[in-house]
Amino acid sequence: MLRNELLGWVGMVVVSAAAVACSSGRDVEVTGSVAAPAGQAVSGPITVSFLDVVSADETPESVAETKLDNVGEFKQTVTVEGDTVRVRAVVDSDGNGACTAGELWAESDAAIQDDDTVAPVTLTLGSAPCPAAM
């Protein structure tokens, strides 16, 4: 009985290790800043989301999120599989975690470089209608 339980545990460890080893994801450092529109004061909460853009055929998947109290700089390490990270900032006035009509937001795609970083991302908030896929 004890032997069977031990074999079961060993099997689970091997399967878990194989799943981790086969993952094509990598850790990418994303830095940047969120800026207010010219002449407009903006305060948080500002939700900054990081999405993994694997291919043009797939909807990007959210892989991390951070909150800012005000406009300013951010730094986040995310695990992604694709070659691009989409960074999105939303002044989440109603606290629903998504872009709602009338809220300021911005997004930008950043190509992942060979050293697993992206060039600093600058997001200038605007009042354009929210994209349908938010």
Mean pLDDT by 10 residues, the chain (134 residues): 50 44 80 93 89 92 94 97 96 88 94 96 94 67
Q: Residue 19: inside a domain, yes or no? A: no
Residue 61 CB coordination number (10 Å):
14
Read off the tokens for 121: 């991302």
CA 109 to chain centre: 11
Q: Residue 109: inside a domain, yes or no? A: yes
Given this model, what pLDDT does residue 51 score? 96
Domain span at 112: 25-124
Split into its structural domains, the chain has a count of 1
Q: CA dist 124 to 13, 23, 26, 36, 45, Å?
A: 46, 34, 28, 6, 15
Q: CA dist 107 to 1, 12, 49, 119, Å?
A: 56, 40, 9, 14
* Amino acid at position 114, single letter: D
Given this model, what pLDDT does residue 14 score? 43
Q: Residue 7: inside a domain, yes or no? A: no
DSSP 60: P
Q: Residue 93: inside a domain, yes or no? A: yes
Separation between Cα atoms, residue 31 and residue 27, nearest integer Å: 13
Cβ–Cβ under 8 Å, residues 37 and 126: yes
Given this model, what pLDDT does residue 98 score? 85
Question: In CATH, what number is assigned to the domain containing residue 30?
Answer: 2.60.40.1120
